[in-house]
Chains A and B, each alone.
Chain A
Amino acid sequence: MTSVPSDPPASRFRLSEDDKPIVVAASFIVIILAIGTAYTLSTQGTATLLSPQYLLQQLQVGAFLGIVAAGMMLVILLGHIDLSVPWTIAAAAMMATTVGGPAAIPVGLAVGLLVGLVNGMGVAYLRIPSMIFTLGVNAVMRGLMVAHTGGFAPQTAATDLMQYLAVGKILGIPVALLVWAAVSIGVMVLLQRTSFGKSIYAIGNKEAAAYLAGVPTKRMIIGAFCLCGMAAGLAGTLLAGYSTKAYQGMGDAYLLPAIAAVVIGGTHILGGRGRYIGTLIGVILIVLLNSVLSIMQMPEAGRQVIYGSVIIGMLLVYGRGRKVTS
Chain B
Amino acid sequence: MSDLRIRLSQNAPLLTAVVVFALFYVFYNMNHPRGFSTAVLIQNSNEVFTLAMVAMAQTLPVLLGGLDLSVGAIMTLVNTIASHLLNGGPLQIIFGFIVCLAAGAACGFVNGCVVVYGRIQPIIATLATGAIFMGIALFLRPTPGGDVDGDLSWTATNDLYEIAATYGFAQDGDAAWFQPIAWIPVPLLLLILVAVCIWLPFARSVTGRTVYAVGSGEGAAFMSGLAIDRAKIAAFTLGGLFAGIGGLYLALQTSSGNADIPQAGAYTLNSIAAVVIGGTSLLGGVGSAIGSIFGALILRTISFNFRIFEIDPLMQPLFEGVVLLAAVSLGALRVLRVKNSLELFR
Report the nearest B residue to A207, measured CB to CB: B345
Given contacts A131-B282, A135-B269, contact A143 B319 (CB under 8 A): yes
Chain B positions within 8 Å of A307 at CB level: 128, 131, 135
Asked whether B142 is an interface residue with its Cβ less than 8 Å from the other chain, the reply is yes
Q: By the criterion CB–CB under 8 Å, are B321 and A319 in contact?
A: no
Given contacts A129-B283, A304-B131, A307-B131, contact A324 B219 (CB under 8 A): yes
Asked whether B121 is an interface residue with its Cβ less than 8 Å from the other chain, the reply is yes
Asked whether A260 is an interface residue with its Cβ less than 8 Å from the other chain, the reply is yes
Cα(A57)–Cα(B135), bound, Å: 27
Q: By the criterion CB–CB under 8 Å, are A322 and B131 in contact?
A: no
Asked whether B169 is an interface residue with its Cβ less than 8 Å from the other chain, the reply is no
Q: By the criterion CB–CB under 8 Å, are B282 and A129 in contact?
A: yes
Q: B41-74, CB under 8 A of A: which get 1 and which 0?
A: 0000000000000000000000000010000000
User: Would you list which residues of chain A between 191 and 235 have a CB under 8 Å from chain B?
Assistant: 207-208, 211-212
Q: By the criterion CB–CB under 8 Å, are B318 and A308 in contact?
A: no
Asked whether B118 is an interface residue with its Cβ less than 8 Å from the other chain, the reply is yes
Cα(A212)–Cα(B340), bound, Å: 12
Residue from the list B119, B262, B321 in contact with A322, Cβ < 8 A: B119
Chain B positions within 8 Å of A129 at CB level: 276, 282-283, 331
Q: In the complex, how many angstroms separate the beta carbon of A5 from the nearest chain B beta carbon?
A: 19
Given contacts A131-B67, A307-B131, A311-B127, contact A139 B324 (CB under 8 A): yes
Q: By the criterion CB–CB under 8 Å, are B219 and A325 in contact?
A: yes
Given contacts A270-B121, A308-B135, A311-B124, contact A208 B332 (CB under 8 A): no
Report the nearest B residue to A256, measured CB to CB: B127
Q: By the criterion CB–CB under 8 Å, are B314 and A150 in contact?
A: yes
Asked whether A99 is an interface residue with its Cβ less than 8 Å from the other chain, the reply is no
Asked whether A15 is an interface residue with its Cβ less than 8 Å from the other chain, the reply is no
Interface extent on B, as a size class? 35 or more
Chain A positions within 8 Å of B265 at CB level: 252
Cα(A141)–Cα(B118), bound, Å: 36
Asked whether A301 is an interface residue with its Cβ less than 8 Å from the other chain, the reply is yes
Asked whether B130 is an interface residue with its Cβ less than 8 Å from the other chain, the reply is yes
Report the nearest A residue to B327, measured CB to CB: A136
Asked whether A186 is an interface residue with its Cβ less than 8 Å from the other chain, the reply is no
Asked whether A170 is an interface residue with its Cβ less than 8 Å from the other chain, the reply is no
Given contacts A211-B345, A263-B124, A315-B124, contact A146 B318 (CB under 8 A): yes
Q: By the criterion CB–CB under 8 Å, are A301 and B283 in contact?
A: no
Cα(A291)–Cα(B324), bound, Å: 37
Interface extent on A, as a size class? 35 or more
Stretch in contact with the other chain, from A30-38, A61-69, A120-128: A120-128
Asked whether A254 is an interface residue with its Cβ less than 8 Å from the other chain, the reply is no
Chain A positions within 8 Å of B131 at CB level: 256, 304-305, 307-308, 311
Q: B85-117, CB under 8 A of A: which get 1 and which 0?
A: 000000000000000000000000000001000
Residue from the list A131, A132, A135, A305 in contact with B136, Cβ < 8 A: A305
Asked whether A269 is an interface residue with its Cβ less than 8 Å from the other chain, the reply is yes
User: Would you list which residues of chain A between 286 and 326 have a CB under 8 Å from chain B?
Assistant: 299-309, 311-312, 315-316, 319-326
Cα(A163)–Cα(B6), bound, Å: 63
14 A-B residue pairings within 8 Å (CB atoms): A127-B344, A136-B325, A139-B325, A143-B319, A147-B318, A150-B314, A151-B314, A307-B135, A308-B131, A308-B132, A312-B125, A312-B128, A315-B118, A325-B222
Chain A residues in contact with chain B, CB under 8 A?
Answer: 83, 122, 125-129, 131-133, 135-144, 146-147, 150-151, 207-208, 211-212, 249, 252, 256, 259-260, 263, 269-270, 299-309, 311-312, 315-316, 319-326
Chain B residues in contact with chain A, CB under 8 A?
Answer: 67, 114, 118-121, 123-125, 127-139, 142, 218-219, 222-223, 262, 265, 269, 272-273, 276, 282-283, 313-322, 324-325, 328-329, 331-332, 334-335, 341-342, 344-345
